[in-house]
Amino acid sequence: MSDTIFQLSAKTNDGNESALANYEGKVLLVVNTASKCGFTPQYKGLEELYQKYKEKGLVVLGFPCDQFAHQEPAGDPEIAQFCQRNFGVSFPLMAKIEVNGPGTHPVYEFMKERAPKLLGSRIKWNFTKFLVERDGRTVRRFSPSTEPVKLENDIEAALAKVPARSR
């Protein structure tokens, strides 16, 4: 298991490998997304958070996933088009992944290990949110029904913390 999320990498929506070290010192909001889910309108709120806080160090990372009721059937290019056209998404979208089971992406293995739920670490549904602090170790988990705007206080608190290397 990695010590920090910044030791991991993930493919971007256009198929390029991206080292999460590129986000070192940032606060990450990592969300498993889907285009045909009842929570899909949360893309709008996620984009609003990104726009409001990106200059202060917030990065929203969307990880499309099709493991819940086949609610993300599209391919990566179509997902990006849908998100941009319908919600103006400009935050980074990653390639479609699995968040549960034997094919779980290492980023989700890391987050589930760091922020398990009371009855286990499985992701219950689309739009489960993880807030990763600047240290890359501290992770908080939020349910799919938690609207992005409800995360503002937690995001502001995480952004206010000085990164360890700057102390």
pLDDT band at 60 (very low <50, low <70, confident <90, very high): very high
Question: Which among 8, 37, 79, 158 is annotated as catalytic?
Answer: 37
Q: Is the pLDDT of residue 108 over 80?
A: yes
d(CA 72, CA 69): 8
Domain extents for the chain? 5-19+39-166
Sheet holding 129-132, edge to edge: 58-64, 27-33, 129-132, 139-142
Provide the CA 147 distance to its chain's centre, in angstroms.
14
Q: Is the pLDDT of residue 16 over 90?
A: yes
Q: Is 10 left (phi over 0), alpha (psi -120 to 50) or beta?
A: beta
* Rounded mean pLDDT, 38-59: 97
pLDDT at position 161, please? 87
pLDDT at position 167, please? 39
pLDDT band at 163 (very low <50, low <70, confident <90, very high): low
- What fold is seen in the domain 5-19+39-166? Glutaredoxin (3.40.30)
pLDDT at position 118, please? 66
pLDDT at position 11, please? 97
d(CA 6, CA 10): 11
Q: Is the pLDDT of residue 68 over 80?
A: yes
Establish whether 83 is a catalytic residue. no
Q: Is the pLDDT of residue 165 over 80?
A: no
The overall pTM is greater than 0.85: yes
pLDDT at position 162, please? 74
Q: What is the mean pLDDT of the chain?
A: 93
